[in-house]
Amino acid sequence: MTRPMNVRARSSLGLMAATIVTAPLPAQDANINIRADSVETLFRAKDFEILDWMDTRFEGDRTQRVVLGFEDNTKALAKWALAPPEGIGVFNNQPRYEIAAYEFQKLFLDEPEYVVPPTVARCVSVERYREMQHWTDATFSGTESVLVVLQYWLWNVTSDDVWDKDRFEGDTVYARHFANLNLFTFLIRHSDANQGNVLISSISSNPRVFAVDNGVAFSRREESDRGTKWRRLTVKRLPRKAVDRLRALTREDLDRRLSVVAQFQLVGDQLVPVTPTGPIEASGGMRRRQDVVQLGLTDYEIGQIWGRIQKVLDEVDEGKIALF
């Protein structure tokens, strides 16, 4: 159960961010300094207190940057995004897409190459949510739970010069990271080129590239008025390791990973996380049956990813895309 926010601390986010403590967990790198599986465990189920809270871009924004304090004294920055009613959003507020994007990358990228920071679904009680921020109703009818998406907040990143053609040709490390990102955004059909949705590490020796907002993806219909450049495969060279892993995948692998990316069980009036089972149905992405709530991709959406994977492999086999 989350505890209420210390409202008086809201103005101290900069100071708090400078004193984040992550010593109990293995450090990874300068961008994600807590191991991904540890972040998932903390964000999904561990008791936390919100130590600070600030709108991400402007007052009243739909997302916030929060400092979470856990019982083992670990502190972590996170993006906090309130889900829409019944978990079904319009345009870019699609919790299931954000979580599916994080889970999908695991099928062909190793953790040091992840292009999406840890992203999970979390339910908090209506009472606690109202104490922490603003008045809100339960996300799902018949419950007293509010669904939010928590995403690890990256360190040492910028939105400047994410794509640099000359650097791609001359810097192998940058080329590998950017190619993995572009491969990922093509496969999920990322359709929102809004400034800040894609970031690059400011650490030149390890220029990781990240997609941090994946709410406009997977769908054939929706796209941003800021452009759709990330859904195109710009590069003509891809890392052999990532392509080999894609080649080894089956459609069933995609189904197992993506058909249910989060599941909750109603206990009393609260939704609690449980291990995902098979999909209640394949045609809908937000599913509700009695006391079970599921988030996942539809059979159609998974089929579209599978088709794009085959397109990449065909172009590799035809020599249109080189490997390195």
For residues 34 and 28, is the Cβ–Cβ distance under 8 A? Answer: yes
Q: Within 10 Å of residue 27's Cβ, how many Cβ atoms?
A: 11
49: three-class secondary structure by DSSP: strand
Contact criterion met (CB below 8 Å) for 49 and 2 = yes
Task: Tell me the pLDDT band of 237, cut-offs 50, 70 and 90.
Answer: very high
pLDDT for 124: 94
Tell which wins on pLDDT, 264 or 3. 264
Per-residue pLDDT band for 24 (boundaries 50, 70, 90) equals very low
pLDDT of residue 302: 97
User: How far, in Å, CA of 119 to CA of 151, rounded?
Assistant: 4
Percent of the chain with pLDDT over 70: 90
The predicted-structure confidence for 66-76, as pLDDT tens digits, reads as follows 999 999 999 99
Structure tokens, 47 = 């008791």
List, in sequence order, the alpha helices (H) in the chain: 13-18, 36-45, 95-105, 126-132, 165-170, 172-187, 240-248, 251-258, 299-317
pLDDT score of 61: 78
Is the pLDDT at 15 greater than 70? The verdict is no
Return the number of other C-beta atoms located less than 10 Å from residue 150's C-beta.
25
Tens-place pLDDT, residues 138-152: 999 999 999 999 999
Alpha helix positions (H), 66-207: 95-105, 126-132, 165-170, 172-187
Three-state SS at 1: coil
Other beta carbons less than 10 A from residue 137's beta carbon: 12
Looking at residue 133, its pLDDT comes to 67
